[in-house]
Structure 1
Amino acid sequence: MNRFWDKIIQPIVEKNSAKHIVEIGCASGVNTKKILRFGEKKYIKLSAIDPKPLFNTNDLKVHYKDRFDFYKDISLNALPLLKDYDIVLIDGDHNWYTVYNELKLIEKSSVNKTFPIVFLHDVAWPYARRDLYYNPENIPKKFRHPYKKAGMKEGHSDLLKKGGLNAKLNNAIYEGNQRNGVLTAVEDFLKETKYDLSFQMTKKCRGLGIIYPKSKDLDVSIKNLLSSF
């Protein structure tokens, strides 16, 4: 998400006067720190979720106090604990089951409220139509595709025998079937939701998708930001 913050996400956060951001997937905390610095003068609260953060979250808590909450857990456990958020950044476990259910939990939290603006990373190749499992045991067997540690090459549906992208990660063996991949999860959710939502995306930097309440003003703003990225 760090690559999208300055030119896409921050302008939308500002335009919509957001007061509570949820960040799913923090990694080394680069984007987490950007959000906190940006929100310091505007008093924007950040709730961050990551089961294995690669930075010292306590230091940030000491500095930002009640403006920063951290949940060292998987998103599907932590999201039900949160409410009244305006923006959600999803960049955690890139598979259908996790992303689809993250969106369903956001929907449930939004009953009788405005649906938040949701940014999703990895809606383009390689995980648009293929699951990645950081911890396969977190995914119910019914929704877990056969997988192995093997790399990928764009334009090749089969995993490579040697080398390739993310060869040390648990990648689904098959690509493009039902309930497989981040973009598939987004599409399945949008088909079912009763909210009147729009979706736009860019394929750059592995893809950024944006779900938001239908609005001509937002349509134009988001289209312009994505096209200029």
Structure 2
Amino acid sequence: MEGPSSLARRAGTRDDPYAQMREARKQPLLLHSMAVFREIFEVVFAHREIRSVVEVGVESGQVSGMYVELGAKAVYCVDPGATAQLRATLAENPALHLVTTPSPEVLPELPVADLYVLDGDHNYAVVERELSWIFDNAPDAVVVMHDLLWPCARRDLYYEPSPLAPEDKHATSADGPTAWHDELTPAGFVGAGAFTVAQHAGGERNGVATAVEDVLARPGNEQWRFGLVPAVFGMGVLYRAADQGLEDALRPYTESDLLATMENNRVALYTRVLQMQYEAAAQAGHADQLAETVSAQRREIDRLNAELHRAWEALRIHR
């Protein structure tokens, strides 16, 4: 157990009581990056020899570099839409290899890896194919996944334009889910053109968690185990039953009711903020419309006053 020094490190000191809030201000309003799971990756690397990584879905390159810091010798960064900035960042590290062919099609073209990190398309069709290939061709690998909880656990998300065939997609909506009711809403977690979501949650072949369950349930996959870290949209870890040391090391995270409660509270608060932003924008629009109406009415009053003045002048002259 840590001593009093941990209190000062987390809460600040008597001379510097604002240290915690300075750290808080550094974070985005919505935590979503796989970088926040560094200590989970440290556990994985400590219990398995990870020399090669296939990373599906690359952010800024920061997370890609983290795998090298933890001991990987080669990281294959799969991102068909890589920006010029991302290309430049990856080029600075010779251990990072950009791959622009999409997943899962690209998986057979890459060396079999020790660790697969799946954080690309968050829908059943893509995740099911990725896991099926890994289970069949990389049986000794560890698989780390993102978005195993709300909103993608039981509802497909499709980055647009989606390359999926129509039969692999559910009917979609540009509205988004919220924690405050079960229906989609324009005031929810929306993609603003970047992505759409399935109109309905649940059912078959819908969502990332459903894909994991279906692949694990297939004959021949009995030796795979799954652990869920219930934080920041949910991190899943898939490993072989023989990896008892890894399972034990992950247990404080995967069995944490505290993490699950904090995640539920986090998404509830965030979607409330989204609703308030939507309502504020609507009110601003109403205010602009009201201002335009008042301005038009003032112009009409000025016009009528001018006509009335001319009428009085004409009447005075005739008298």
**Match 2:86 to one of 22, 44, 56:** 56
* Aligned position for 2:50: 18
* Aligned position for 1:27: 59
**Match 1:93 to one of 121, 131, 137:** 121
Check whether the contact 1:148–1:172 (CA below 8 A) recurs between aligned residues.
yes
Task: Quote how far apart the aligned CAs of 1:227 are.
Answer: 4.9
Check whether the contact 1:2–1:30 (CA below 8 A) recurs between aligned residues.
yes
Percent identical: 28
* Aligned position for 1:207: 234
Task: Quote how far apart the aligned CAs of 1:145 are.
Answer: 0.1
Decide which moves more: 180-189 or 145-154: 145-154
* Aligned position for 1:198: 225
Counterpart Cα distance in 2 of 1:33 and 1:183: 27
**Match 2:98 to one of 67, 70, 73:** 70
Task: Quote how far apart the aligned CAs of 1:93 are.
Answer: 0.4
Counterpart Cα distance in 2 of 1:227 and 1:89: 21
Counterpart Cα distance in 2 of 1:137 and 1:49: 17
Cα 1:212–1:225, aligned 2, differ >3 Å: closer, same or farther?
A: same
Counterpart Cα distance in 1 of 2:206 and 2:180: 17
- Does residue 1:3 correspond to 2:32, yes or no? no
Task: Quote how far apart the aligned CAs of 1:202 are.
Answer: 2.2
Counterpart Cα distance in 1 of 2:197 and 2:87: 29
**Match 2:215 to one of 180, 189, 197:** 189
Task: Quote how far apart the aligned CAs of 1:151 are.
Answer: 1.7
Task: Quote how far apart the aligned CAs of 1:91 are.
Answer: 0.5
Cα 1:132–1:204, aligned 2, differ >3 Å: closer, same or farther?
A: same
Check whether the contact 2:184–2:199 (CA below 8 A) recurs between aligned residues.
yes
**Match 2:182 to one of 157, 181, 190:** 157
* Aligned position for 1:128: 153
Counterpart Cα distance in 2 of 1:137 and 1:118: 24
Decide which moves more: 213-222 or 203-212: 213-222
Largest Rg, 1 or 2:
2
Higher strand share: 1
Task: Quote how far apart the aligned CAs of 1:164 are.
Answer: 1.1
User: Number of residue pairs matched?
Assistant: 219
Cα 1:204–1:96, aligned 2, differ >3 Å: closer, same or farther?
A: same
Task: Quote how far apart the aligned CAs of 1:27 are.
Answer: 2.4
Deviations for 1:62-121, whole angstroms, at most 9, x for unmatched residues?
x332x22211121122111113311111111000000000011112322xxx43111110
Q: Any idea what SS the aligned residue of 1:85 has?
A: coil
Cα 1:223–1:48, aligned 2, differ >3 Å: closer, same or farther?
A: same
Task: Quote how far apart the aligned CAs of 1:143 are.
Answer: 1.7
- After TM superposition, the score normalised by the length of structure 1 is 0.88
Counterpart Cα distance in 1 of 2:101 and 2:179: 32
Counterpart Cα distance in 2 of 1:226 and 1:72: 33
Higher helix share: 2
Check whether the contact 1:126–1:154 (CA below 8 A) recurs between aligned residues.
no
- After TM superposition, the score normalised by the length of structure 2 is 0.64
* Aligned position for 1:166: 190
Cα 1:202–1:96, aligned 2, differ >3 Å: closer, same or farther?
A: same
Counterpart Cα distance in 1 of 2:104 and 2:196: 20
Counterpart Cα distance in 2 of 1:86 and 1:122: 21
Q: CA RMSD in A?
A: 1.9
Task: Quote how far apart the aligned CAs of 1:44 are.
Answer: 1.9
Counterpart Cα distance in 1 of 2:88 and 2:59: 15
Structure 2: which 5+ runs fail to align? 1-33, 260-319
Counterpart Cα distance in 1 of 2:153 and 2:219: 20
